[in-house]
Structure 1
Amino acid sequence: MSKLLDGKRIVIMGVANKRSIAWGCAQSLMDNGAEVILTYQNDRLKRQLDRIVPEGTTMIQCDVSEDENVEKTFNEIHEKFGNIDGVIHAIAYADKKTLEGGVIDVEKDGYNLAQDVSAYSFISVSRYASRIMNPSGSIATLTYMGSTRAIPSYNMMGVAKAALEANVRYIATDLGPKKIRVNAISAGAIKTLAVTGIKNHGDLLRESEARTVDGESVDTVQVGNVATFLMSDLSTGVTGDLIYADKGVHLLA
């Protein structure tokens, strides 16, 4: 029986461990027939991936802090495997001091770092990925509703996610003539490595779960299933959009 993503080659950027949303995306994509290529930032993260990924999974290093690294990564992918059909960008970062303080106290270096890794990297990834992407390709990123609401303790990351979502809209317009669609998934609060870096993250997780329509938090595979839809040909009419995968939390906030 054919699967939804048979014949699709998808790059997933940002898998940190088995609890990360990016890993939920990878699991769903692989279950639906995709050939998955994972990127990792450094050797420490690669060792973590070695423990969870199926044997034979392709992994390529990519530190998105420099455009040259991103360009090199996608050139390497193209040389080894040919064109790709999609990319999932699940990368965000702010230093501890910046995350713990309010936006009013954010210093310039912390602001620039958060924007660079969390928002600008999506521009860089989209630029170089689109050059080796088949028509009807798809690019998706991960965001959170702290981009449009002042979520307690989310602070500077909310500002960076707002920039990321604006990037999605403009890049969707830029890449539309190439038949490449660009979207964002606004995932609910899930206990990932990224969330545990947020001050009072336990309160955030409990409040989010209480506001779901069924009283249960969304999980990483459920978010991954939305990513599978966006990577598939079923979503060819969807671009420049934001799809919520939070079990309705955004309805009640």
Structure 2
Amino acid sequence: MSYNLLKGKRGIIFGALNDQSIAWKVAERAVEEGATITLSNTPMAIRMGEVNALAEKLNCQVIPADATSVEELTEVFKNSVEILGGKIDFVLHSIGMSPNVRKKRTYDDLDYGMLDKTLDISAVSFHKMIQSAKKLDAIAENGSIVALSYVAAQRTFYGYNDMADAKALLESIARSFGYIYGRERSVRVNTISQSPTFTTAGSGVKGMDKLFDFSNRMSPLGNASADECADYCIVMFSDFTRKVTMQNLYHDGGFSSVGMSLRAMATYEKGLDEYMDEDGNIIYG
């Protein structure tokens, strides 16, 4: 159902790869809500993914760009303003990748060259994106910039590895740039901390299936889906959130506020019984 929340607005969606991508869902919802958009991803991702099919479906253009390149990001904003016929009202940063995770390097055995790439692709690209847009004055007054994050920026999750550091940096950039951009141009900058989601990137995290199940059981409302995240992004792009900025907004069914759910406690106690002797002592090894 459409509510015309983005009627007349122009946007850029970074990171759509295939129909599992949250960015893909956001692009579809944005157009459904009345926006005109451009899509951007790396040339390799465009070749390997299905972005061109999405562009054809939504009648929009794809602008290839490496999000770690200031020059290429500058071209994305310049071209988007020209293609869409005016300044940009909203931007989605849905970009993240860890070579260490892909190569199964554990957090206590990181390759630092790969760590540099993780941080550059997953977080510093957000700074480069905003800075490029600001220098061009490409974002309209009261515009909205959103990046997708995860609760591992605040809490330790085994297997999330150096992506946790990247998400922490991503959220810091949103606060720091949100203050500057808000004071100078009334542009708001926020991050959305989404539930574990089976995207192409998310599926690469070690134990993702168990993490998804644990989060779903712990959350009073259950995990938020990619479609539901897209709805939330649309609200953040709309005029209904014009005074929301510099925030990390949890969209996780309540997971981030739960200590131990009743279901999780019962499961824990049941499992613990298997490792106790008749006197109630825990059996180790």
Normalised by the length of structure 2, the TM-score is: 0.83
| Alpha-carbon distance between aligned partners in 1 of 2:226 and 2:3, rounded to the nearest angstrom | 24
- Inter-partner Cα distance in structure 2 for 1:174 and 1:55: 33
Q: Residue 101 of structure 1 aligns to which amino acid in structure 2?
A: R
Matched, 1:48 2:50: yes
Secondary structure in structure 1 of the residue aligned to 2:192: strand
Residue 233 (str. 1) matches residue 236 (str. 2): no
Q: State how many pairs are aligned.
A: 252
From 71, 80, 88, the counterpart of 1:77: 80
Q: Which has the larger radius of gyration?
A: 2
**Structure 2 equivalent of residue 201 of structure 1:** 208
Residue correspondence of structure 1 range 17-96 to structure 2 within 5 A: 17-46=18-47, 48-53=50-55, 54-81=57-84, 82-96=86-100
Contact between 1:99 and 1:157, CA under 8 Å: does it hold in 2? Answer: no
**Partners of 1:36 and 1:79 in 2: CA distance:** 12
Corresponding position of 1:171 = 177
Distance 1:210 1:2, change over 3 A: closer
Indicate if the aligned counterparts of 1:99 and 1:198 stay in contact, CA closer than 8 A: no
Q: Which of 95, 113, 123 does residue 117 from structure 2 map onto?
A: 113
Please state how far the C-alpha of 1:217 moved relative to its aligned partner: 2.5
Shift of residue 138, structure 1, vs aligned partner:
0.7
- Cα offsets for 1:156-180 (capped at 9, x unmatched): 1001100110001000011012110
The one-letter code of the counterpart of 2:248 is L
Deviations 1:173-225 (A, max 9, x none): 110121100000000001110111111221111111111213x4311111111
Give the Cα–Cα distance (whole angstroms) in 2 for the partners of residues 85 and 142 of structure 1.
18
Aligned partners of 1:163 and 1:70: how far apart in 2? 20
Q: CA deviation at 1:115?
A: 0.5
- In structure 1, give the amino acid aligned to 2:125: S
- How far the C-alpha of 1:31 sits from its partner, in A, is 2.0
Mapping of 1:131-150 within 5 angstroms? 131-150=137-156
- C-alpha deviation, 1:226, in angstroms: 1.1
Asked if 1:243 corresponds to 2:249, the answer is: yes
Deviation, structure 1 residue 2: 6.5
Paired with 2:211 and 2:225, the residues of 1 have a C-alpha distance of: 15
Give the letter aligned to residue 204 of structure 2.
G
Distance 1:99 1:205, change over 3 A: farther
- Contact map agreement 1:99 1:154 (CA 8 A) in 2: no
- CA RMSD, aligned part only? 1.8
Q: Which amino acid aligns with 1:63?
A: D
The answer for the alignment partner of 1:8 in structure 2 is: 9
Closer/same/farther in 2, CA of residues 185 and 196 from structure 1, 3 Å limit: same
Deviations 1:79-105 (A, max 9, x none): 333311110100011114566333221
Unaligned runs of 5+ in 2: 260-285
Alpha carbons of structure 1 residues 243 and 190: separation in structure 2 relative to 1, 3 Å: same
> Identity over aligned residues, as a percent?
27
- Residue type matched to 1:14 in 2? G
Q: Contact 1:93 / 1:117 at 8 angstroms: preserved in 2?
A: yes
1:52 offset after TM fit, Å?
3.7
Cα pair 1:154 1:198 within 8 Å, conserved: yes
**Could you tell me whether the CA contact under 8 Å between 1:99 and 1:155 is conserved in 2?**
no
- Counterpart secondary structure, 1:19: coil
Q: Which amino acid in structure 2 is aligned with residue 51 of structure 1?
A: A
The answer as to whether partners of 1:98 and 1:111 remain within 8 angstroms in 2 is no
In the alignment, residue 187 of structure 2 is paired with which amino acid?
I
CA contact (8 A) 2:43 2:66 kept: yes
Residue 186 of structure 1 corresponds to 193
Q: Give the number of the structure with larger relative contact order, counting CA–CA contacts within 8 Å between residues 6 or more apart.
A: 1
Query: Hey, what's the Cα distance between the residues in 2 that align with 1:247 and 1:55?
Result: 30
Q: Secondary structure of 1:193's partner?
A: coil
- Counterpart-to-counterpart distance in 2, 1:172 and 1:97: 30
Letter in 1 for 2:106: G
TM-score, length of structure 1 as denominator length: 0.93
What letter corresponds to residue 78 of structure 2 in structure 1? N
C-alpha displacement at 1:139, in angstroms? 0.5
